[in-house]
Amino acid sequence: MSPTRIIIDTDPGVDDALTILLALASPEIQLEALTTVHGNIGIEKTTRNALAVLEFVNADCIPVARGCSLPLVGTPPRSAEAVHGSSGIGKAVLPEPKSQPMDQHAIDYLIERILAEPQEITLFSIGPMTNLALAIRKEPRIVQALKGLVIMGGAIRQGGNVTPLAEFNIHADPHAAYIVFHSGIPITLIPLDATYKCLLTTSDVERLNRIDSPIARFVRDSTAVYMDFYKKYEGFDGCALHDPLTLAAIIAPELLVFEELHVDVDISGGVSLGNTFADFMNVSKKPANMKVALDVNGRGFIELFLERMESLACKI
Ligand code: RIB
Ligand code: CA
Domain extents in the chain:
4-313
> Which ligand approaches the C-alpha of residue 11 most closely?
2
Tell me, what's the pLDDT at 152?
99
Residue 304 near residue 28, CB atoms below 8 Å: no
Can you tell me the mean pLDDT for 180-192? 98
Residue ranges around ligand 1 (CB below 6 Å):
11, 13, 15-16, 39-40, 80, 126-127, 152, 161, 167-169, 242-243
User: pLDDT per residue over 250-274, tens digit each?
Assistant: 999 999 999 999 999 999 989 999 9
Q: Ligand 2 centroid vs 271 CA: distance in angstroms? A: 23
Q: Ligand 1 centroid vs 308 CA: distance in angstroms? A: 21
- Mutate which of 169, 173, 198 to test ligand 1's pocket (most atoms within 8 Å of Cβ)? 169
Q: Binning pLDDT at 50, 70 and 90, where does residue 237 land?
A: confident
Q: Binning pLDDT at 50, 70 and 90, where does residue 77 land?
A: low
3-state secondary structure of 291: strand
For the purposes of burial, counting CB atoms within 10 Å of the CB of 11, is it exposed (0-12), middle (13-18) or buried (19 or more)?
buried
Q: Ligand 1 centroid vs 283 CA: distance in angstroms? A: 30
Q: Binning pLDDT at 50, 70 and 90, where does residue 94 land?
A: very high
What DSSP designation does 28 have?
A: T
Taking the CA of residue 12 as reference, the ligand 1 atom at the shortest distance is: 8
3-state secondary structure of 25: coil
Taking the CA of residue 16 as reference, the ligand 1 atom at the shortest distance is: 8
Tally of CA atoms within 13 A in the half-sphere of 59 that contains its CB? 24
Tell me, what's the pLDDT at 133?
98
Tell me, what's the pLDDT at 233?
84
> What distance in Å separates the CA atoms of residue 6 and residue 30, rounded to the nearest whole number?
6
Can you tell me the mean pLDDT for 42-63? 97
Residue 136 near residue 177, CB atoms below 8 Å: no
> Which ligand approaches the C-alpha of residue 39 most closely?
1
> What distance in Å separates the CA atoms of residue 279 and residue 259, rounded to the nearest whole number?
11
Tell me, what's the pLDDT at 235?
85
Residue 27 near residue 7, CB atoms below 8 Å: no
Active site residues: 242
Tell me, what's the pLDDT at 83?
87
User: pLDDT per residue over 110-131, tens digit each?
Assistant: 999 999 999 999 999 999 999 9
Supply the CATH classification number for the domain 4-313. 3.90.245.10
